[in-house]
């Protein structure tokens, strides 16, 4: 990593409007096809996180970000407490520099501090190898359903097959239940 980054774990309620705006600006750059979501201080896609890991540049820009929220999801009819992990992003100019690996190491530490059985996230097919390298496991053949909203605020139900990943934290991977995944709400 060639850039100095100040890492911080932040409670959602401690973020200021300028913090939210800085996070939103980086998310818009990292996810250009979703940049219409990240306007002003809107720095989440579904549900606001409970905690965030933020990597700040010396100039106050956000260089890396992840949001985490504890929630129960239903897997094969069984309720499972997870640390729902989302809006994982690294500034485009730093992608491939090791910042993403550092972000996920710090994410794991936050999940351990929350004492959740598993971290949980939905990943695009192109990102699965990266997460797998960092200890996450794709749930084979998993179908997940969640509530979502369009950028205009219209509620929709979404179902996605594949890309659902878990990170054993306080539980063992073999204890993850089988069956359809119902997020019982929105993703972070």
Domain boundaries, the chain: 6-182
Residue-level pLDDT at 148? 66
Residue-level pLDDT at 24? 94
Q: Inform me whether the pLDDT recorded for 154 exceeds 70.
A: no
Residue-level pLDDT at 147? 65
Residues 69-89: pLDDT tens digits? Answer: 999 999 999 999 999 999 999
Q: Inform me whether the pLDDT recorded for 2 exceeds 90.
A: no
Residue-level pLDDT at 145? 67
Residue-level pLDDT at 151? 66
Of 74, 166, 141, 65, the closest CA to residue 106 belongs to: 65
The pTM of the full predicted model, rounded to 2 decimals, is 0.89
The structure tokens listed for 131 are 């997460």
CATH of span 6-182: 3.40.630.30
Residue-level pLDDT at 135? 97
Q: Inform me whether the pLDDT recorded for 113 exceeds 60.
A: yes
Contacts 24+ apart (CB under 8 A), 158-164: 160/122, 162/125, 162/138, 163/122, 163/123, 163/124, 163/125, 163/128, 163/138, 164/120, 164/121, 164/122, 164/123, 164/138, 164/139
Residues 22-66: pLDDT tens digits? Answer: 999 999 999 998 888 888 888 887 788 999 999 999 999 999 999
Residue-level pLDDT at 140? 86
């Amino acid at each position: 990593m060639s850039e100095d980054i100040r890492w911080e774990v932040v409670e959602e309620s401690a973020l200021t409007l300028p913090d939210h705006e800085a996070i939103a600006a980086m998310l818009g750059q990292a996810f250009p096809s979703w940049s219409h979501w990240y306007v002003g201080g809107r720095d989440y896609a579904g549900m606001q996180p409970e905690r965030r890991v933020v990597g700040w540049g010396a100039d106050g820009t956000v260089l890396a970000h992840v949001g985490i929220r504890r929630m129960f999801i239903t897997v094969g009819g069984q309720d499972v407490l997870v640390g729902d992990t989302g809006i994982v992003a690294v500034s485009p100019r730093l992608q491939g520099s090791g910042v993403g690996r550092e972000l996920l190491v710090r994410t794991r530490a936050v999940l351990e501090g929350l004492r959740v059985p598993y971290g949980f996230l939905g990943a695009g097919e192109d990102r699965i190898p990266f997460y797998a390298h960092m200890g996450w496991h794709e749930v084979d053949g998993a179908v997940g359903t969640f509530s979502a909203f369009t950028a205009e605020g219209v509620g929709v139900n979404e179902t996605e097959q594949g890309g659902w990943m878990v990170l054993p934290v306080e539980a063992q991977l073999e204890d993850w239940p089988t069956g359809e995944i119902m997020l019982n709400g929105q993703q972070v």
